[in-house]
Structure 1
Amino acid sequence: MYKAVISGVGSYLPERILTNQDLERMVETNDEWITTRTGISERRIAAETEATSDLAYQAAVAALQDAGLTATDLDMLIVATSTPDYQLPPVASLLQHRLGCRPISAFDVSVTCIGFISAMETASQYIQTGKHKHILVVGADALSRITDYADRTTCILFGDGAGAAILSRAEPSTDQGVIHASTHSAGEHFFSLYVPGTGSRQMMPEEAAKKGKIIMEGRKIFKLAVTSMSQTVKETLEASGYDQADLDWVIPHQANQRIIEAVAHNLELPLEKMVSTIKYYGNNSAATIPVAMDTAIRDGRIKRGDLVMLVAFGGGLVWGSLLLRY
């Protein structure tokens, strides 16, 4: 079996910044309340002319440049998103054309906030079996398009952005690459975090006012997130023959700083090992992990040879983790 190694990373955040002070003028809230409960001070918002594919394109270009590859080198393209430009066809098709790829396989995965992990797990299988040599994986979301800015409990959380990684084939002897991944779903919690009125299911009368906007049971999601993320990290470590002390870095989904701190506590890890970008970018769903990874690589925290755990949860309820040596 070949190894699936990260050969390049990139990210893109829109220029517009929505601060806590801006939100104070929109809903009944304040900077101290938001910061204390979420750890968020700012979040990025896509321009009116920007859609998810535009965010994905910028991140993809950066990842290709980092890998020293061109779009024609790619054998497959996977986009993780919950906010596609259109209901159909997939964002990946737009991205494949805009990048100038060959007529390669290109598809979306819609697994909410664990989308990037699921896409990386999928891509790694194609690499490891030898079918493909280079695969572009993008996590991109424009959650501002489905955020209810009259809801003070949710509008403080979400933002927009995109991150990308290129998985490339390497010889089995290399120490780098994807080691193990585990993903799960528990559909009984489906209605704890969902968006009504955007699919084939007829809305209930009580959902009418929230058509196309995020509905979330915050307290329930918080507890489920901490439990599921902690469990999946332990599961992946055990399957891989490692323990918590071996980890150099954990890159968690950036949903809430208190969730990140609780997971670190459960895993008995120093908070310094948890990569956090939530203060300035908020929660941009499938983009949070690749954006945080790119940030930590660029600033020198994550170095080649480091053992890195990716972990996330999201609406579904879904959760998962992926261990790799960068």
Structure 2
Amino acid sequence: MIAQIAGTGFYVPDRRVTNQELASFVHLDDAGIRKRTGIQERRWAGKDQAASDLATEAVRAAMEQAGCAAKDLDAIVLATTSPDMWFPSTACLVQKNLHARNAFAMDVAASCCGFLFALSVAEQFIRSGQAKTVAAVATEVKSRFLNRSDPATAILFGDGAGAVVLKPSAGESGLLSIRLYSDGSRSGMIQIPAGGSRRPISQQSLAEELHVIRMKGGSLFKAAVQRLTDVTHEILKTHHLQPSDIHHFVFHQANARILSAVAKRIQIPMDRLVMTLDRYGNTSSASLPMALAHLFRSGRVRPGDLIFLGAFGGGLNWGGALVRS
């Protein structure tokens, strides 16, 4: 038995942060930021909003589209690297908010690739028969972990959440394939060095700004393009498909240069890619389900369409999935 996407949803905070607002901090103008990233604006959470709040609204939207209630959820699998707190899990806080008393709840952490990891876990609960209705959600409030004078990161990241509700498939539609990979030997490419048990927050770590995102942009760009290209070819080859057979490509919305380079490598036109980067920025693990929700709500998806999902992020982690609508 395979799992199908019964509903999608997303949520972003109200506050719009334009390139003009950031220009004075990072010493880049609007045109420079758009050229480097493809981003025009991003959303940042309000002071009283946390990752669980965004996730709750995204799951609610997905449940509404799926035609199910909170009591119908058997499990909530949540991806984040900006949790409300270290414990309890952010998933448990979402379960509380939804009053989903019949659902067990768990977090996974795989940086920008987190949604694919959550989707894989959720799909296996469906496939094994342990659950019939599962919410997979990714949520991030990365704006709390930025050095706002660092142009490498301050202009990139936004806040948001995206979710899907999975149910057993009665036909040919569903998740056809998921592949996940990790390479911990390259963990230093993007990280928040302090705040964990290795290096707890201290006056020294704060002074050295080790509690914010640090990124080696050039190395990360090369690795992202190569890994996303490889996993796309691998999954398509497994299913005896060509890129031209895929109706929609939904990749993690990292930056426009990465997306353009991947499209060129796999030889597809840019209009085959779902793009939300310009409006929301890089929302880390949430960007993939947010873009997927936009696609499903656009009216462009027809029954039987093939959709490719791909993501890459810190860890390093990367992966892909093939979905039939």
Q: TM-score, normalised by structure 2?
A: 0.96
> Counterparts in 2 of 1:129-278, with a 5 A limit?
129-171=128-170, 174-202=171-199, 208-278=207-277
Alpha-carbon shift at residue 83 of structure 1 (Å)? 0.4
Q: TM-score, normalised by structure 1?
A: 0.96
- C-alpha distance in structure 1 between counterparts of 2:186 and 2:33, whole Å: 26
After TM superposition, the runs of 4+ consecutive aligned structure 1 residues lying more than 6 A away are: 203-207
Residue 242 of structure 1 aligns with an amino acid whose one-letter code is L
8 A contact 2:181–2:317 mirrored in 1? yes
- C-alpha distance in structure 1 between counterparts of 2:72 and 2:90, whole Å: 20
8 A contact 2:55–2:94 mirrored in 1? yes
Structure 2 residue aligned with 1:84? 83
- C-alpha distance in structure 2 between counterparts of 1:122 and 1:240, whole Å: 22
- Larger deviation: 219-228 or 100-109? 100-109
Q: SS state of the match for residue 26, structure 1?
A: helix
> Counterparts in 2 of 1:239-318, with a 5 A limit?
239-318=238-317
Q: Percent identity?
A: 39
8 A contact 1:253–1:289 mirrored in 2? yes
- C-alpha distance in structure 2 between counterparts of 1:211 and 1:193, whole Å: 12
- C-alpha distance in structure 2 between counterparts of 1:103 and 1:292, whole Å: 29
Structure 1 residue aligned with 2:22? 23
Q: SS state of the match for residue 154, structure 1?
A: coil
Structure 1, unpaired ranges of 5+: none
Encode CA deviations 1:233-279: one digit per residue, 9 max, x unaligned.
11111223322121001100001111101101110111111111000
- C-alpha distance in structure 1 between counterparts of 2:143 and 2:199, whole Å: 23
8 A contact 2:39–2:277 mirrored in 1? yes
Structure 2 residue aligned with 1:42? 41
Alpha-carbon shift at residue 206 of structure 1 (Å)? 8.3
**Aligned residue pairs: how many?**
323
- C-alpha distance in structure 2 between counterparts of 1:321 and 1:262, whole Å: 17
Q: SS state of the match for residue 210, structure 1?
A: coil
> Counterparts in 2 of 1:74-113, with a 5 A limit?
74-113=73-112
Structure 2, unpaired ranges of 5+: none
8 A contact 1:297–1:303 mirrored in 2? no
Alpha-carbon shift at residue 196 of structure 1 (Å)? 1.4
Alpha-carbon shift at residue 44 of structure 1 (Å)? 0.4
Alpha-carbon shift at residue 9 of structure 1 (Å)? 0.6
Encode CA deviations 1:204-226: one digit per residue, 9 max, x unaligned.
97885222200000011011100
Residue 218 of structure 1 aligns with an amino acid whose one-letter code is G
Residue 116 of structure 1 aligns with an amino acid whose one-letter code is F
Alpha-carbon shift at residue 297 of structure 1 (Å)? 1.5
- Larger deviation: 95-104 or 305-314? 95-104
Alpha-carbon shift at residue 175 of structure 1 (Å)? 1.5
Alpha-carbon shift at residue 303 of structure 1 (Å)? 2.9
Alpha-carbon shift at residue 68 of structure 1 (Å)? 0.6
Alpha-carbon shift at residue 30 of structure 1 (Å)? 0.9
8 A contact 1:182–1:321 mirrored in 2? yes
8 A contact 1:140–1:163 mirrored in 2? yes
- C-alpha distance in structure 2 between counterparts of 1:187 and 1:314, whole Å: 11
Encode CA deviations 1:116-136: one digit per residue, 9 max, x unaligned.
111111111111222211100
8 A contact 1:180–1:239 mirrored in 2? no
8 A contact 1:139–1:287 mirrored in 2? yes
Q: SS state of the match for residue 321, structure 1?
A: strand
